[in-house]
A and B are shown apart, each in its own frame.
Chain A
């Protein structure tokens, strides 16, 4: 893996001390971590992406110091979609084609949590793998980003880069391409960035 490419887990749902952050970097090979607003914040700002629920956009105190993304849990109702959502967290199977087509050009991240799979039956996990293959194809076609996060609520639910690469391998997605795309997507989401098509 090229050195300038970060391994990213955008959903870690427990508080991170500086020691835990270093531990995750060292033993899980994860460089950038997405944490929730309520989590204790680490001082290592380059490794942290703050996740803010879209309904709480008025939180400004901590936002100023961190790179942040707006997320919302996806519900199959197009009326509830906020215009500046960066990440939709998908918890259930739904027919994604119309939605992804409708949101073309918004470059949204569609996030799936590996931790949820732990509680699914084997047949549901199998269905998830084939659904993900289809979803990835649609993301590519309509210019969105597929995101695989651990969704860890505790340290034992974390997924290492090796495991995510194994999942990508089963999805027949090139891990090099996935990480390059995710890095590029994340850097584009940095607010205030100036884009130059050249």
Chain B
């Protein structure tokens, strides 16, 4: 039997200010939705984890999951009632961090036009 290396994807998620104060609910909600929609066998294969990185701001969460389960993970993420948005997806943490930085700098540069939308919610 040949053992192939398991591939993962990192998903960068931006949270609303309100949600960033209560991050523990995220994994609970995603797990609940994933389990309900795709079952526990699939959920355990997906190997969904939150990655803790010191230098990321409080409004960013990084999720790790198996490549084969990315579709199901994205569906679960988009079908939970939490104020979050998927910012970027990458195969390496280095690339993901780069994309997150681009996102954050874009948001801060265009803060004036964007804040009303972020606040309205």
Contact = CB atoms under 8 A, between A and B. Distances in A.
B114 A160 contact: no
A155 B37 contact: no
Interface string B3-22: 00000000000001000000
A15 B117 CA distance: 8
Interface in A149-189: 154-160, 162-163, 166-167, 169-170
B86 A160 contact: yes
Contacts of B16: 156
B74 A17 contact: no
| Size bin of chain A's contact surface | 20 to 34
A117 B79 contact: yes
Given A14-B120, A17-B117, A122-B36, A156 B106 contact: no
Interface stretch (A3-11, A20-28, A132-140): A20-28
Nearest to A159: B78
Contacts of A18: 113
B36 A163 contact: no
Nearest to A128: B79
A125 B77 CA distance: 13
| Size bin of chain B's contact surface | 20 to 34
A27 B102 CA distance: 10
A14 B86 contact: no
A114 interface: yes
Contact of A125 (B79, B103, B116): B79
A162 B112 CA distance: 27
Nearest to B32: A122
A122 B89 contact: no
A58 interface: no
Interface string A19-57: 110110011000000000000000000000000000000
A23 B106 contact: yes
A180 to B, nearest CB: 21
B110 A170 contact: no
Contact of B117 (A14, A119, A123, A125): A14
Interface of A: 14-15, 17-20, 22-23, 26-27, 114, 117-119, 122-123, 125-126, 154-160, 162-163, 166-167, 169-170
12 contacts: A15-B116, A15-B117, A23-B114, A26-B106, A27-B85, A119-B81, A125-B79, A156-B82, A156-B121, A163-B77, A169-B71, A170-B72
